Amino acid sequence: MPPANTSDKANTETAAMLARRERLLGPNTPIFYDNPVHLVRGEGVWVFDNSGNRYLDCYNNVPHVGHCHPEVVEAIASQTSTLNVHSRYLHDNILNYAEQLTATFDTSLQCVLLTCTGSEANDVAIRMARSATGNKGVIVTDHNYHGNTNEVMSLSTLLMHDLGQRTDSQTMPTPDSYHLLDGESTLQDMANRVLAGLDVAIDNLQRDGHGVAALLVCPIFANEGFPNLPDGFFTAVKKRINAAGGVIIADEVQSGFGRCGHAMWGHQHANFIPEIVTLGKPMGNGYPVAGVVCSADIMHQFRTHNNYFNTFGANPVACAAASATLNVVQRENLVENALQTGTHAQQQLAQLANRYPVIGDIRGSGLFFGGELIKATGQRDPDPVLGKTIINAMRNEGVLMGLIGRFDNLLKIRPPMPFSVDDASVLFETLEKVLRRVC
Ligand code: PMP
């Protein structure tokens, strides 16, 4: 049922709200779609606007187990009405959650520090890496976003900022399996070039006296456009970082909690074990909870030299929300669902690509996948304009999705984890309707 939010009254309300927003929040505050959506309610994989129209949510990974999942809502409400304090008192919730969470990791990753946002988690993870290695330098990809604190935002090459150029960081090339360079014919050729770029980054940090503290990287390169990688890619990366005296911080803010379908964590999916893992977004199904998981050695080194305290991090309500979310993931077999539904949905998208060659490549894993939109030149030329047209048209037809990747032309399909085969049918029937119209 497409939204009917196009009445004059609705348009006038939207215009007034946008003006109020700009007056109160300032200019350039990010907002989705040419015709922004005014959401008032959510349930499962659906969200509802102020006119009662419903939208299939194919975008949001924060309501991981579904919008307003009753079990998470109940856990938050019940703990809020009992006690909420900071973490300088004894409380079972943090300990129970730390045990529940670390049971899903390799035995080398056994200590937890909780924060409120993914940005804070990455910020403190970099401090931990520096404290553990004695080095200062940080490596990221050349198309990265890891958060909004001064430390991580100043590393970002994806979002605009005025924090200036850092001297203690270097970038490695972003793998792009769809746009191989001249002379490359396999994924391994691409990987060899990326690894050579990583070697240069390491050499530069060492030459300039920073050394290598960490590579901060998403194990599925989510914001970079989730490229296909050859087997053993991260083993080769880790070998280089460790040989330089550094550690890997796997930023699992996007890839964690079973999103990729094969495993609970993106690094397990990518077949390597990092020294530090950061978590966020889906962790509390919308309650702001995030954190760092690392070895006992790294945690001890950090805690011995730093009095880290986070007023809201690790509070009993946050831990109740996170624990309920993980319970639902495990009990409702949502990792398995991500694999099955995601595989089925990718096949459906591939069928659509056969009929619409503007969908040039399909990739991803589990319930994080998408298709690259290209021009009809036959040259894999990215078409971000078509991408924008499509996601705006999809919004008007009642399906929410986004764009990502190096060229902003990759349809990003990353719905709440209970997404079903029937939901996928709604998505692709709508996408076909839109493609028929705009192509
Ligand atoms: N890391 C990655 C990979 C992200 O995509 C984001 C947010 N999009 C963050 C960290 C920052 O998380 P937060 O917004 O919770 O601070």
Check whether 210 has a pLDDT greater than 80.
Answer: yes
Which string of DSSP letters, residue by residue, matches 106-165? -TT--EEEEESSHHHHHHHHHHHHHHHHS--EEEEETT----SSHHHHTT-SSS---S--
Which whole number is the average pLDDT over 113-129?
98
Please give the number of the atom of ligand 1 that sits closest to the Cα of 148.
16
CA of 197 to the centre of ligand 1 (A): 25
- pLDDT reported for residue 28: 92
- Tell me what pLDDT residue 378 has: 82
Backbone Cα Rg of the chain: 22
Using CA atoms, how far apart are residues 82 and 76, in angstroms rounded to an integer?
A: 10
Distance 123 CA to ligand 1 centre (A): 11
Q: Which residue's C-alpha comes closest to atom 2 of ligand 1?
A: 146
CB atoms within 10 A of CB 3: 20
Residues 203-211, mean pLDDT to the nearest whole number: 98
Taking the CA of residue 144 as reference, the ligand 1 atom at the shortest distance is 3
Ligand 1 atom having least distance to the Cα of 281 = 15
For ligand 1, the distance from its centroid to the CA atom of residue 246, given in whole angstroms, is 22
Residue 2 has pLDDT above 80, yes or no: no
The tokens of 305 are what?
Answer: 């030299």
Residue 395 CA to ligand 1 center (angstroms) comes to 24
According to the model, what pLDDT value does residue 324 have?
98
Domains recognised in the chain with CATH numbers: 8-65+334-438 (3.90.1150.10), 70-331 (3.40.640.10)
Residue of 61, 119, 153, 157 with the most ligand 1 atoms within 8 Å of its CB, for mutation:
119
Q: Is the per-residue pLDDT at 366 higher than 80?
A: yes
The whole-number average pLDDT for the span 377-395 is: 96
Give the mean model confidence (pLDDT) for residues 122-136.
98
d(CA 313, CA 311): 6
Ligand 1 binding pocket (C-beta < 6 A) is 117-119, 122, 145-148, 218, 222-223, 251, 253-254, 280-281, 290
Of 149, 153, 281, best ligand 1 pocket probe by most atoms within 8 Å of the beta carbon: 281
Q: What is the pLDDT of residue 11?
A: 85
* pLDDT bracket for residue 302 (50, 70, 90): very high
- Gap from CA of 152 to ligand 1 centroid (Å): 10
Mutate to test the pocket of ligand 1, among 114, 124, 146, 157 (most ligand atoms within 8 A of CB): 146
By most ligand atoms within 8 Å of CB, the mutation choice from 141, 254, 279, 292 for ligand 1 is 254
CA of 146 to the centre of ligand 1 (A): 5
> Residue 119 CA: which ligand 1 atom is closest?
16
Report the separation in Å between the CA atom of 253 and the middle of ligand 1, taken as the mean of its atom positions. Answer: 6
Helix and strand numbers, DSSP H then E, in the chain: 13, 15
pLDDT digits (tens, 9 = 90+) for 24-58: 999 999 999 999 999 999 999 999 999 999 999 99
What is the rounded CA–CA span in Å between residue 321 and residue 340? 26
User: How far, in Å, is the centroid of ligand 1 from the Cα of 141?
Assistant: 15
Residue from 59, 124, 145 to probe ligand 1 pocket by mutation (most atoms less than 8 Å from CB): 145
Q: In what order do the strands lie in the sheet with 46-49?
A: 39-43, 46-49, 54-57, 399-400
Q: pTM of the prediction?
A: 0.97
Query: Comparing 379 with 83, which gets the higher pLDDT?
Result: 83
Mean pLDDT, range 316-339, rounded to an integer: 98
- Classified as helix, coil or strand, 41 is strand
